[in-house]
């Protein structure tokens, strides 16, 4: 069991990292031949950074679109950010000061995540339009995330697991020295779901996370009259003449 | 066509319930052999369409980052699902932006992603069958590429980009749309979308000079093919003969006259519109835009000004510099662009919108108006989608909203806004953009105009609005056609420069 989960984690992490980098490389190397920012758009690079920051941190466009989806989605994502940071305590020794500081908030963040996810799923199940556009994988991904969050919260509040041993295990993983893992069904469920998520990430809609940074409608500066924007393949058309 | 009626206004603008397949089979006419072959597309659906379509899709995915990212990034959150005017008007779920994208995304997943290859059902992937291809033809020609959905998408996914790619794929297998492809053929052959030949154009302009002389007593000229003129005006060909477009053309001419600007039209390049964008074909887009470059070089003009046309302004503002070098800032080694950019006068923006031109002149106090001549109008302004979300005017973001409004306020006393949820970047398409301004899509056009008509009615009821100004030839043509179906007078629609024309004081400044 120790070894199996270790191997799965190694493989999943490898797949996640390689897959994700591959995708990012594809996005970065695919040309954007035309200027297509959704206007009004910033005219300077600084402005674009601000726009992207508002988009990534506050979900500005979603806020304009639908307050419910925004609230649920933002709660889930912000919660996840905190929870992920909180989990750094399993990978650092000694634990970094700021990670210690956020530990209590991380718990509330977990609850916020769960509420957000349930809200999003409710919407997906009961709003006719959203149900129409949902594929089975959309539902299953929410279920998977709900599984990860609930098993985590369960261990936090009800069926405590030996977190010292868990930390030992992950410290071991980092040093390729496999340690015993507590035999605990909730923990196993939690970890295996995370493995699943790592595998799904680079081949699914979860690519929205890196994707948003490459979205030409959001990351382009609005200066087509001032600067000539020409992609390599488009430039070739000119030399042909 | 007479049996097409306007859908009922929603009392409160609730999101409509779904009516699956409400618009199935209501797509546009298919282009025939003659039309397709004239612009280099296969005449009709080729036998190996499946393989060629998938290959084309792969090619586009490698050439356009937008398409690649947009295919991957959608999480089906539904933010866009109630934002499309065609969905609101038709209630067909496949007219929800996300569902429209999914018509292609499902095929993308099947052929270009691992989960789609292994577990198609799970991730909603499907084979490209003839039924799917037909569905593409039907629904990707029910999108006006207005980009309203892209405003609300948390990843900026722009359905217009997906629609353009789909149309490009359809054209590559000989399954394009009659209306757009026919028009593109005319531009290449004659120089404008209407197929108006040079002599007829010259005739029309002479007639206009007489009309204006009769109405004002002043010799306002409509020059054409004048070498060495300062300004080349590129305007939608509808401005030459359609109502109410022509009144704006008269407005531009009066502005040039009153400011003593030497200007010219070009008989070779008598079209601002560029349907190459609508069908997503870079070569066509470029080839059509090249006519403008050619005219500018031949006539030796210093400035290029673009008339009231929405998508044309997007192409001009956002794409011309890329496509043809009409703009500024080309690399010193970029001979192609430098050849033209050296000729242009960079004290001015290149290209410049006619509204920017007129507003600059108003700010310089080189124009004067008798605003009372527009007093019969209570005016509102319809932001055209491509101007609002695909371009800019002036120096600041949002100038495309402020400048036309500033002009209206400078030439008229009564101006009111429509509901803020339907103006500026949130404006609704008129219902006829993106290559859909054709009678075979009239039902779609009528239904797609619903959200705009609702708020116009509101403005009429609350403020007595009797004139909706707009700066787009397609908006003008679409509204004059469909507004009577909603019970409005067709003359309620007109251009911003029509209002300028009404109020401008010609001759000596007071």
Residue A240 — very low, low, confident or very high, per pLDDT cuts 50/70/90?
low
- Which of B154, B311, B318 best tests the A interface by mutation, with the highest count of A CBs <10 A? B154
For residues B466 and B319, membership in a common domain is answered with no
**Residue B85: its pLDDT value, please?**
98
Specify the range with the lowest mean pLDDT, choosing from A236-240, B338-342, B347-351, B371-375: A236-240
Domain membership of residue B23 (yes or no) is no
Whole-angstrom distance, CA of residue A229 vs CA of residue A224: 7
CA distance B371 to chain A (A): 30
Mean pLDDT of B25-48: 97
Cβ-Cβ contacts under 8 Å, A238 against chain B: 336
Selected residue with higher pLDDT from A1 and B429: B429
For residues B355 and B372, membership in a common domain is answered with no
Cβ-Cβ contacts under 8 Å, B286 against chain A: 237
For residues B141 and B216, membership in a common domain is answered with no
Domain membership of residue B434 (yes or no) is yes
Domain membership of residue B113 (yes or no) is yes
CA distance A114 to chain B (A): 17
Cβ-Cβ contacts under 8 Å, A136 against chain B: 121-124
The SS3 assignment for B466 reads coil
For residues B273 and B411, membership in a common domain is answered with no
Q: What secondary structure letter does DSSP report for B193? A: T
Domain membership of residue B19 (yes or no) is no
Residue closest to B292 by CA, chosen among B317, B329, B266, B311: B266
**Residue B10: its pLDDT value, please?**
86
Whole-angstrom distance, CA of residue A130 vs CA of residue A118: 14
Longest dimension (CA), chain B: 77
Q: Which two tokens stand for residue B59?
A: 């090619």
- Determine the structural domain holding residue B258 and report its residue range: 191-359
CB spacing of B123 vs A234 below 8 angstroms: no
Domain membership of residue B347 (yes or no) is yes
Tell me the per-residue pLDDT of B436-490, one tens digit each, with 9 for 90 and over: 999 999 999 999 999 999 999 999 999 999 999 999 999 999 999 999 999 999 9
For residues B337 and B256, membership in a common domain is answered with yes
Residue A239 — very low, low, confident or very high, per pLDDT cuts 50/70/90?
confident
Q: What is this structure's pTM? A: 0.96
State the average pLDDT for chain A: 96
Total domains present in chain B: 3
pLDDT > 90: what percent of chain B?
A: 96
State the average pLDDT for chain B: 96
The SS3 assignment for B495 reads strand
Burial (CB < 10 A; 0-12, 13-18, 19+), residue B31, is buried
- Fold assignment, A2-24+65-206: Fumarate Reductase Cytochrome B subunit (1.20.950)
Whole-angstrom distance, CA of residue B468 vs CA of residue B494: 6
Domain membership of residue B273 (yes or no) is yes
The ipTM is 0.96
Cβ-Cβ contacts under 8 Å, B72 against chain A: 23, 205, 207-208, 211
Cβ-Cβ contacts under 8 Å, B62 against chain A: 30
**Residue B4: its pLDDT value, please?**
85
Tell me the per-residue pLDDT of A35-46, one tens digit each, with 9 for 90 and over: 999 999 999 999
For residues B354 and B382, membership in a common domain is answered with no
Is 60 exceeded by the pLDDT of residue B509? no
CB spacing of A129 vs B61 below 8 angstroms: no
Q: Nearest Cβ partner of A128 from B17, B150, B155?
A: B17
Is 50 exceeded by the pLDDT of residue B74? yes
**Residue B207: its pLDDT value, please?**
97
The alpha-carbon radius of gyration of chain A (Å, integer) is 21
Is 90 exceeded by the pLDDT of residue B16? no
CB spacing of A217 vs B321 below 8 angstroms: no
**Residue B508: its pLDDT value, please?**
54
Mean pLDDT of A53-76: 98
**Residue where one domain finishes, among candidates B305, B332, B359:** B359
Domain membership of residue B382 (yes or no) is yes
**Residue where one domain finishes, among candidates B163, B182, B201:** B182
Which own/partner pairs from A88-94 qualify as long-range (CB within 8 Å, at least 24 positions apart)? Answer: A89/A167, A90/A166, A90/A167, A90/A170, A90/A171, A91/A170, A91/A171, A91/A174, A93/A167, A93/A171
Tell me the per-residue pLDDT of B182-240, one tens digit each, with 9 for 90 and over: 999 999 999 999 989 999 999 999 999 999 999 999 999 999 999 999 999 999 999 99
CB spacing of B72 vs A211 below 8 angstroms: yes
Element (H, E) at A125: helix A97-126
**Residue where one domain finishes, among candidates B137, B156, B182:** B182
Cβ-Cβ contacts under 8 Å, B322 against chain A: 33-35, 224, 228-230, 234
Q: Which residues contact B327 (CB under 8 A, 6 or more apart)?
A: A224, A225, A226, A228, B320, B321, B337, B341, B350, B351
Domain membership of residue B60 (yes or no) is yes
For residues B266 and B305, membership in a common domain is answered with yes
Nearest chain A residue to B62 by CA: give it.
A30
Q: What secondary structure letter does DSSP report for B344? A: S
Task: Work out the number of other CB atoms within 10 angstroms of the CB of residue B294.
Answer: 15
Tell me the per-residue pLDDT of B111-132, one tens digit each, with 9 for 90 and over: 999 999 999 999 999 999 999 9
Is 80 exceeded by the pLDDT of residue B145? yes
For residues B142 and B46, membership in a common domain is answered with yes
Q: What are phi and psi of B154, to 5 degrees?
A: -65, -15
Q: Which residues contact A214 (CB under 8 A, 6 or more apart)?
A: A24, A27, A28, B65, B69
**Residue B15: its pLDDT value, please?**
84
Mean pLDDT of B163-178: 98
CB spacing of A39 vs B81 below 8 angstroms: no
For residues B171 and B204, membership in a common domain is answered with no
Q: Nearest Cβ partner of A38 from B18, B329, B389?
A: B389
For residues B202 and B350, membership in a common domain is answered with yes
**Residue B510: its pLDDT value, please?**
39
CA distance A109 to chain B (A): 22
């Amino acid at each position: 069991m120790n070894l199996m989960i270790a191997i799965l984690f190694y493989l999943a992490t490898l797949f996640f990292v390689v897959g994700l980098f591959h995708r990012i490389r594809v996005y970065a190397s695919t040309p954007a031949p035309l200027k297509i920012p959704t206007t009004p758009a910033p005219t300077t690079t600084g402005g674009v950074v601000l726009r992207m920051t508002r988009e990534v941190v506050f979900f500005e466009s979603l806020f304009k679109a639908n307050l419910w989806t925004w609230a649920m989605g933002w709660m889930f994502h912000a919660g996840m950010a905190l929870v992920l940071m909180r989990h750094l305590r399993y990978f650092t020794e000694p634990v970094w000061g700021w990670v210690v500081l956020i530990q209590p908030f991380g718990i509330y963040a977990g609850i916020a995540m769960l509420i957000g996810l349930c809200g999003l799923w409710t919407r997906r199940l009961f709003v006719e339009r959203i149900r129409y556009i949902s594929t089975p994988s959309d539902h299953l991904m929410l279920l998977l995330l709900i599984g990860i969050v609930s098993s985590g919260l369960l261990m936090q509040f009800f069926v405590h697991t030996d977190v010292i041993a868990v930390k030992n295990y992950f410290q071991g993983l980092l040093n390729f020295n496999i340690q015993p893992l507590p035999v605990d069904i909730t923990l196993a469920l939690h970890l295996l779901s995370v493995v699943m998520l790592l595998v799904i990430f680079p081949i699914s809609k979860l690519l929205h996370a890196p994707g948003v940074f490459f979205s030409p409608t959001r990351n382009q500066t609005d200066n087509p009259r001032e600067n000539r924007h020409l992609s390599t393949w488009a430039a070739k058309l000119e030399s042909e003449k | 066509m007479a049996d097409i009626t306007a859908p009922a206004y929603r009392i409160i603008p609730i999101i409509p319930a779904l009516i699956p397949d409400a618009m199935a089979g209501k797509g546009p006419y298919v282009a025939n052999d003659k039309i397709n072959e004239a612009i280099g597309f296969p005449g009709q659906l080729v036998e190996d369409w499946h393989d060629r379509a998938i290959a084309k899709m792969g090619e586009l995915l490698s050439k356009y980052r937008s398409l690649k990212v947009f295919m991957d990034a959608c999480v089906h959150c539904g933010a866009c699902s109630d934002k499309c005017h065609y969905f609101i008007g038709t209630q067909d779920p496949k007219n929800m932006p996300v569902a429209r994208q999914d018509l292609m995304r499902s095929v993308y997943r099947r052929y270009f992603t691992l989960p789609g290859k292994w577990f198609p059902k799970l991730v909603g992937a499907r084979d490209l069958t003839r039924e799917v291809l037909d569905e593409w033809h039907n629904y990707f020609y029910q999108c006006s590429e207005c980009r309203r959905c892209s405003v609300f998408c948390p990843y900026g996914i722009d359905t217009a980009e997906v629609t353009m790619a789909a149309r490009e794929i359809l054209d590559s297998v000989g399954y394009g749309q009659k209306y757009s492809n026919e028009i593109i053929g005319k531009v290449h052959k004659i120089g404008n979308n209407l197929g108006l030949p040079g002599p007829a154009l010259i005739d029309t302009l002479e007639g206009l000079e007489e009309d204006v002389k009769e109405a004002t007593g002043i010799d306002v000229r409509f020059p054409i093919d004048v070498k060495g003129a300062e300004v080349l005006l590129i305007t939608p060909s509808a401005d030459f003969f359609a109502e109410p477009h022509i009144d704006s053309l008269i407005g531009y001419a009066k502005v040039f006259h009153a400011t003593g600007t030497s200007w010219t039209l070009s008989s070779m390049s008598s079209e601002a519109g560029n349907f190459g964008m609508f069908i997503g074909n870079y070569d066509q887009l470029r080839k059509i835009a090249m006519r403008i470059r050619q005219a500018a070089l031949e006539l030796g003009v210093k400035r290029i000004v673009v008339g009231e046309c929405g998508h044309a302004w997007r192409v001009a503002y956002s794409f011309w510099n890329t496509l043809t070098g009409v703009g500024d800032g080309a690399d010193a080694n970029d001979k192609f662009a430098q050849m033209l950019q050296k000729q242009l006068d960079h004290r001015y923006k290149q290209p410049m919108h006619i509204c920017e031109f007129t507003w600059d002149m108003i700010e310089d106090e080189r124009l004067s108006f008798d605003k009372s001549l527009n007093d019969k109008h209570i005016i509102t302004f319809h932001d055209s989608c491509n101007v609002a979300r695909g371009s800019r005017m002036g120096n600041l973001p949002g100038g495309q909203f402020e400048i036309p409004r500033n002009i209206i306020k400078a030439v008229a006393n009564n101006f009111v806004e429509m509901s803020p949820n339907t103006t500026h970047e949130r404006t609704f398409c008129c219902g006829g953009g993106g290559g859909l301004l054709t009678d075979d899509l009239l039902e779609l056009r009528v239904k797609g105009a619903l959200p705009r008509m609702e708020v116009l009615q509101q403005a009429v009821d609350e403020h007595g609005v009797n004139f909706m100004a707009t700066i787009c030839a397609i908006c003008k043509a679409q509204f004059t056609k469909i507004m009577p179906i909603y019970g409005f007078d067709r003359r309620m629609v007109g251009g911003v420069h029509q209002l300028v024309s009404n109020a401008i004081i010609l001759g000596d400044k007071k």
